[in-house]
Amino acid sequence: MSFLNTIFYKPYQTQLRVTSANGFHLRPVASFANIAKRFPCRIWASFKNKKADAKNINALLSLSLDTQDCFTLTAQGRKAEEALEALTEQFSFLMQNDPEPYKIQKEKNLYEGSGVEGEIIADGIAVARLHNHSTQEILTENRLGFQDALKESLQELDMLHSLHQTASSGSIYLAQKELLKTLAQTNNTLKDFEDAIADASHSLKGTPIEAKISDYRDLLWRIKKHLGAEEKLILPATPFILVADDLLPGHIEQLTQSQAQGIVLKKTSLRSHTAILLRAAGIPSLIIVRPDDAKYDFISDMVILDAHAGILVYTPSQNDLQKAMERLQKNKSEKKQAQDQRFKKAVTAQGKPIHLFANVSDVKSAKEAKEEGAEGIGLLRSEFLFTQTKPSFEAQVHAYKEIFALFEDITVRTLDIGGDKALPYMQLPYESNPFLGVRGIRLLETHPEILEEQLHAIFIAAQRKPIKIMFPMVARTEEFIQAKAFAYRVAKKYGLDISSIRFGIMIEVPSVLFLLQQFNKVVDFYSVGTNDLNQYLFAIERTHPTLKLDAHSSVLFDALEKIVKEVAKPLSLCGELASNKEAIPKLVALGIETLSVSAKMISTIKEEIRHV
């Protein structure tokens, strides 16, 4: 809609206040702008004499909106009032679902040598020499033009998002992809793109979201990499602790494959995407904002980075070094012991076997689960195939076949999309409370064709293997009966034998707790999703910034006890509680015998079970 057309429409305005402790940063901005793009009217945000197109991620970021900042949102044109209502609801949702990074509690510091304290990004301990950050540009033969390099970068970010969907890092790549698409709309050459990055970085300099400059630089890094000019870190071949002002998110993968024992960053924050990726990688890391205290930068002797106590000891005594090495060896020993026994059964001290399965989201994580000692897949999140582009039937069959070939015992959750997790090619009605709307099995009412194709692909890939299919968000037995009947109609339509397929439900809607006797007559198995069950029990969204859920609530454990006592079919537990070491003794005592956790937690939880 042109500007001239909008003058015939009344403008609608509202005031929005940033309540997230993280400010209005890239990830929520990307989501907000995507909602704005659905409406034909003009929409803009105003703050401190600056105005930004609400459909433009780059423009919105330039407002540098921090916690408690209040800005004006205006919509003018066709469907303006509807747009303002939708964006107000979306903004509220984004603020509620953007929790402040968890601050790790520091252990007591008992070192004799001098040190400098900092914030803990990821805990752990490292003893090594410091290495100062430096990079080099590596030129490779390039036959791509700028537009092709742009397409390659977008595909790379899409792939990274698919690989990390279930981790905190997954949303980073999706937000970066949306930002790159926005920048690409007005920049058609590398020179234009570099200028746009420089302008955007300049506008964020000195603002509360200055750490997001690294995302802009990261996008430029990806483009140039595909143009044959990759910037790589210069790293030693021996163990080291890297000291840098900041790092690009794209550099973290290189660090995970190096001799890096720890990281010290000076100019970043716990909110930064670099910090989030370091936590995901498990590299002991600190933020030490002491630019004038550079005396530890060029020390050639051994130093201690203790990310349990939150300190870099740059003049450690022999006693300090010995103590640090003992802690390091203890950490390694515990990790090695767990790793060495990862393929062994998890049996409690009283001789009770507990089965450990894996939550996976794609072929890569399924292979990782196999290597980490999983007995099977307790939760295959099938959403990994359904990203920005609808997957073909052939792509679905191929992916399922690869995963099914790895294990004998596999549970596939049907597409858990809807409400807050809408896809571009799925037209779902706007909902003011998406967690209580069209989600999971309720898609059978709105998008039966997508579930039909998914079930067809699963049936073809299974090839008479005893796959378990689990329906999410089931609240009544009638819903399960209808879904199973639908699955059988799909099999009949394509002439497929699915006699080996078993069907079950996720227990996550509280109504199921009162219908277990009825469900026992129709389901083949159950899996408890404690994350959603807990939030629905207390009517508190689990990532709300101020209202907190107690993962160890007696009410939740009472609900689990009721479930264990009343179910008459196989039961597993696949929520975050399953990988909570403190909860393991309680879960075992309740009688839960099958847990499904992330691949990286399998060896750790197995070891924990052996001490129960």
Catalytic residue annotation:
273, 574
**Could you identify the residue written with the tokens 């069959």?**
397
Q: Tell me how far apart the alpha carbons of residues 595 and 225 are, in angstroms, rounded to a whole number.
A: 42
Distance CA(128)–CA(235), nearest Å, equals: 13
| Number of other CB atoms surrounding residue 481 within 10 Å | 15
* d(C-alpha 381, C-alpha 411), whole Å: 9
The answer to whether 367 touches 387, Cβ cutoff 8 Å, is no
Q: Where are the alpha helices (DSSP H) in 20-98?
A: 26-36, 57-61, 80-96
CA distance 380 to 361: 6
Nearest Cα neighbor of 127 from 269, 349, 289, 308 is 308
Cα 538 to Cα 438: distance, rounded to the nearest angstrom: 20
Q: Which of 230, 229, 224 is nearest to 251 (CA)?
A: 230
**Separation of alpha carbons 417 and 82, rounded Å:** 23
* Terminal CA-CA length for the chain: 65
Degrees, nearest 5: CA angle 323-328-333: 125
- The whole-angstrom separation of Cα 204 and Cα 272 is 14
Dihedrals φ, ψ of 241, to 5°? -115, 120
